[in-house]
Amino acid sequence: MRLILLGAPGAGKGTVAKMLTKIDGSVQISTGDILRAAVKNGTDLGKKAKEFMDAGDLVPDELIMGIMKDRLREDDCKAGYLLDGFPRTIPQAEQLKVLLEEIGHKLDAVVNLNVPRDVILDRLTTRRTCTDCGAIYNVKSNPPKEEGKCDKCGGPVVQRDDETEEAISNRLDVYNEKTAPLADFYKGEGMLLDIEATSSDTVVDAIKGHVGI
């Protein structure tokens, strides 16, 4: 399947994407993960992107589109892909439309995950991430067995700079201003699947029914 997953930070796009990849071998493509890897590795792209990410702002289009153009042409995308966190703006959506036409790809649907703001704030301010392997924990529902230490690799488990309450509030404001209008854009394209996303299982079932899996 080829899908775009829309939803505010913390809406569960990554969780849903991981569940969907197990169904038909589609790959999850998260611009956030790609950018964070670039920051960790100290690449030129990472250095440029870090200041935007730490503040919870959007990374400029020219950086993102360059990444996506290369990524969608890789061999593993032939089995299908789930775009997690991209596009984030109407201009990106328009550029993606052109790119997909260039490479001969057609999307099955654009899925919009709706989650209340207070639920998102609670999810993200309590989330912790291993700086070595990227494993995700939650101090309330899924803490590491040893505080501050990853169960999987033993690396340090920390709160990301962009998951403090101040940064999250800013990210949500940016999302509402620049990304939420994408739902109307894709509705106009006749591609939008709007889902109340309090349960990941419910979301996955709705998507499977929509694409006929």
The catalytic residue positions are 13, 88, 127, 160, 171
pLDDT at 74: 82
pLDDT at 30: 84
Tell me if 45 sits within 8 A of 38, measured CB to CB: yes
CATH code of the domain made up of 2-115+166-211? 3.40.50.300
* Closest C-alpha to 5, from 42, 41, 32: 32
Q: How far apart are the C-alpha atoms of 73 and 94, rounded to whole Å?
A: 18
CA 46 from centre of chain: 17
pLDDT at 32: 76
Q: Per DSSP, what are the bridge partners of residue 159?
A: none
Q: How far apart are the C-alpha atoms of 45 and 63, rounded to whole Å?
A: 7
pLDDT at 131: 95
**Could you tell me which residues come within 8 angstroms of residue 85 by beta carbon, excluding any fewer than 6 positions away?**
5, 13, 30, 31, 32
Q: Per DSSP, what are the bridge partners of residue 149?
A: 146, 156
- Please report, for residues 60, 76, 107, 127, 197, the alpha-carbon distance to residue 88 in angstroms, rounded to integers and kept in the order given: 11, 23, 16, 22, 19
Q: How far apart are the C-alpha atoms of 19 and 28, rounded to whole Å?
A: 10
Per-residue pLDDT of the chain (213 residues; tens, 9 = 90+): 999 999 998 898 888 998 999 998 999 988 877 787 778 888 777 888 888 878 878 788 888 887 777 788 889 999 999 998 889 889 999 999 999 999 899 999 999 999 999 989 998 899 999 999 999 999 999 999 999 999 999 999 999 988 889 999 998 998 888 888 999 999 999 999 999 887 888 899 999 998 887
pLDDT at 178: 84
Tell me if 5 sits within 8 A of 17, measured CB to CB: yes
pLDDT at 129: 96
Tell me if 89 sits within 8 A of 58, measured CB to CB: yes
* Closest C-alpha to 66, from 101, 110, 36, 31: 31
Is omega for the bond preceding 87 within 30 degrees of 0, making it cis? Answer: yes
pLDDT at 45: 75
Q: How far apart are the C-alpha atoms of 203 and 201, rounded to whole Å?
A: 5
pLDDT in tens, 185-202: 999 999 999 998 878 888
* Closest C-alpha to 79, from 20, 24, 29: 24
pLDDT at 130: 96
pLDDT at 199: 82
Q: Domain coordinates of the chain in residue numbers? A: 2-115+166-211
